[in-house]
Amino acid sequence: MLPPDEPTAAIACTVNGQAIRTQVPLRRSLVDWLRHDVGLTGSHVGCEHGVCGACHVRVDGLVVRGCLMLAVQADGAAIETIEGAADALTLALQQAFFEKAALQCGFCTPGMILQAAELLAANPAPSRAEVREALSGNYCRCTGYQPIVDAVMAVGAALHAK
Ligand code: FES
Ligand code: FES
């Protein structure tokens, strides 16, 4: 429920392929809107100032930090969250993260996977250093990063073998 004096604006966008027309508070971040108004809680909120990468979503195909973008800026955009990301790379990464035990609490995992998918789309056979560089804006407090890099490398190796 919005306070009666909260200024809002109309937006029209798609979220995971579903068209949405609604009013959004001018100050609401994209990730807060997705979580609290759209009900998609797969994108997480960690630092709220662009450091941790937990809030990653795709906007028009590019990974962005949902805490640094306002919902009103998504007017006209195609937004994809981890719940709707069903491309082959994302699915392969989800399986690899499972197989390599690349998650514990899972808080960082949606952001990690979306960022890793963007890396592998641009560079199907990255080195470990390139994986670390690509994921350097995604924090994980649990895994020590090694199994995350292992999972991304495994998907890269499978792509390279094709
Ligand atoms: S919550 Fe957006 S980068 Fe941390
Ligand atoms: S698995 Fe817990 S923060 Fe990464």
pLDDT band at 2 (very low <50, low <70, confident <90, very high): low
Tell me the fold of 88-161: DNA polymerase; domain 1 (1.10.150)
Domain coordinates in residue numbering, the chain: 8-80, 88-161
135/149 Cα distance (integer angstroms): 9
Q: Is the pLDDT of residue 4 over 80?
A: no
Mutate to test the pocket of ligand 2, among 98, 141, 145, 150 (most ligand atoms within 8 A of CB): 141
Atom of ligand 1 at shortest distance to CA of 52? 4
Our answer on whether the CB atom of 135 is closer than 6 Å to any ligand 2 atom is: no
Our answer on whether the CB atom of 17 is closer than 6 Å to any ligand 2 atom is: no
Arch. (CATH architecture) of 8-80: Roll (3.10)
Report pLDDT for 159. Answer: 83
What are 109-147's pLDDT values in tens digits? 999 999 999 999 999 999 999 999 999 999 999 999 999
Residue 25 dihedral angles phi and psi, to the nearest 5°:
-60, 140
Q: Average pLDDT over the chain, rounded to whole?
A: 96
